[in-house]
């Protein structure tokens, strides 16, 4: 399935299924934004946790969608704090956090979705121990999807900003700064 089709037609449904399988106390677990959903990297690595509801064939698109939603959320929070609360209510994008226990108190870089989503249903210890091979396999699968996502968001995000945040000037320029970053998975 193409990225745009997955993002616009399937991602929200899959994300709701993903949240529903998380323990209730872990769904809104980020202390700095307790009203927002949060996803600890544990739930992306462990195939027997919430990730099990995302079919293997959809996991690459799911991971890339998480990457872009976290990237947009963090960019809006950083650059437009006065508009962020409205943005958060409109999108309800999840916060990506480090692993529990402990690191789930900290916001993770958006690439955590690309680096940690277990695309292959690997045993978590095997997945982590063979990190170099896993990253190379993941990169080969994810990079073309990320490129599709960049094309989509360079068009869609400025339209979204114009519609809901007309006070933000030059939305195309902002989108280019956000989506033309180096996203290499390491």
Instruction: Write down the pLDDT at residue 38.
Output: 65
Helix (H, G, I), strand (E, B) or coil at 125: helix
What tens-digit pLDDT sequence spans the chain (186 residues)?
899 999 999 999 998 898 888 766 554 444 455 555 667 666 676 666 677 888 989 999 999 999 999 999 989 988 998 998 899 889 988 888 766 665 555 567 788 788 877 777 666 666 566 666 667 778 888 999 999 999 999 999 999 999 999 999 999 999 998 887 654 444
Rounded to two decimals, the pTM is 0.84
* CA nearest neighbour of 110 among 169, 179, 11: 179
Provide the pLDDT for residue 113. 80
Parse the chain into domains and list their residue ranges.
3-179
Q: Write down the pLDDT at residue 125.
A: 64
**Residue 82: its pLDDT value, please?**
93
Nearest CA to 100 among 50, 36, 30? 30
């Amino acid at each position: 399935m193409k990225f745009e089709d997955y993002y616009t037609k399937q991602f929200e449904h899959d994300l709701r299924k993903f949240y529903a399988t998380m323990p209730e106390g872990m769904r809104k677990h980020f202390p700095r934004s307790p009203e927002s959903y949060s996803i600890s990297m544990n739930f992306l690595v462990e195939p027997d946790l919430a990730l099990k509801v995302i079919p293997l064939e959809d996991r690459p698109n799911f991971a890339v969608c998480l990457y872009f939603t976290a990237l947009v959320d963090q960019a809006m929070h950083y650059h437009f704090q006065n508009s962020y609360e409205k943005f958060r209510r409109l999108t309800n994008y999840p916060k990506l956090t480090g692993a529990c226990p402990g690191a789930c108190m900290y916001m993770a870089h958006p690439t955590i979705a690309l680096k940690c989503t277990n695309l292959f249903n690997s045993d978590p210890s095997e997945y982590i121990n063979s990190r170099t091979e896993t990253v190379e396999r993941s990169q080969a699968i994810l990079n073309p999807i990320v490129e599709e996502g960049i094309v989509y968001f360079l068009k869609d995000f400025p339209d979204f900003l114009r519609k809901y945040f007309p006070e933000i000037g030059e939305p195309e320029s902002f989108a280019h700064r956000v989506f033309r970053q180096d996203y290499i998975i390491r």
